Amino acid sequence: MNSPIADPMLPRPFRIQSVRKETTDTFTFELAHPEEGSQNGFEPGQFNMLYVFGVGEVAISISGDSAEPGKLIHTTRAVGTVTQAMARLKPGQVIGVRGPYGRGWPIDDMQGQDIVVVTGGIGLAPLRPLLYRVLANRGRFGRVVLLYGARTPNDILYKKELERWRGRFDMEVLITVDRSTGGWRGHVGVVTQLISGAPFDPYHATAFICGPEIMMKYSVDALTKRGLPSERVYVSMERNMKCAVGFCGHCQYGPKFVCKDGPVFPFTEVKRLLDIWEV
């Protein structure tokens, strides 16, 4: 009899170390590996499947620092049954984890390039590990630009960190909100409007985008208008996902499985699909 093969659908229980409330509907978990000292290595842009006991499982991108794999960090927006149940969990409680899964941002191939990050809302979460990696190896890249859009000033994610990054002399952080509320002195409008004036050399830049499909489509339009070829754009896609290992079929995006071929795609691989309705 063959020895039984590991079931890829089985989660491992991780203890919640801390919970941080980011905005009214987003929160960040720091999870501890069940075996002391063990690490869960991951690449920026990858995701885990998180299981809430008796409720269900969801795909959540990893938003921590890949240089510190002992700390597993996830930022989640409470929008569905599982994520709302997740929002009620407290430090010390346990959550199931499978992963990491998928193809991440090819950041290590972009040495010498200007790095342009375009994102909105919780789309910043899967790009934060990329920014950590870039900033940890700052000398290897050209200019670094983060263009970020939020619905309102209260919906800005990782606010402290963004303020810190904005204070750096070797990084540009431009933020916009869809709707201004009390005291906001910054830009109002959609994130794509920030692209035309952002300080990067379009002929030596690579862009990384995560947000709603329509936002990514128009971001690429604005980037190509500045002369950045679409071959140097990477996007992170989202689809319903049940298994994360290519069995369940839910995450199909045309011929692509978002779980194993993505979630990060070279824009040219999905360009045809982004132009079609309801793929």
Cβ of residue 205: shortest distance to another protein, in angstroms? Answer: 30
Q: Sign (positive/negative) of CA torsion 153, 155, 159, 161? A: negative
**x/- letters, 86..105, toward another protein (CB under 8 A):** --xxx-xxx-x---------
Min dist. Cβ of residue 258 to another protein (A): 10
Q: Two tokens at 203?
A: 């002929």
- Could you give the string, one character per residue 52-81, with x where binding to another protein holds by CB under 8 A and - elsewhere? xxxxxx-------------------x-xx-
Interface pick for another protein out of 139, 169, 182, 276 (rule CB under 8 A) = 276
Q: Which is nearer to another protein, 162 or 279 (CB)?
A: 279
Using the rule CB under 8 A, is 277 a contact of another protein?
A: yes
Residue among 92 and 227 whose Cβ is closer to another protein: 92
Distance in angstroms (rounded) separating the CA atoms of residues 198 and 146: 9
Nearer to another protein, 6 or 35 (CB): 6
Binding of residue 214 to another protein (CB under 8 A): no
Other beta carbons within 10 Å of 178: 15
**184 and 156 in contact (C-beta within 8 Å)?**
no
**Nearer to another protein by C-beta: 90 or 160?**
90
CB 212 to another protein: min, Å: 9
Rule CB under 8 A: say whether 131 interacts with another protein. Answer: no
Contacting positions for another protein (CB under 8 A):
4-13, 51-57, 77, 79-80, 85, 88-90, 92-94, 96, 238-240, 242-243, 245-250, 252, 254-255, 257, 260, 272, 276-279
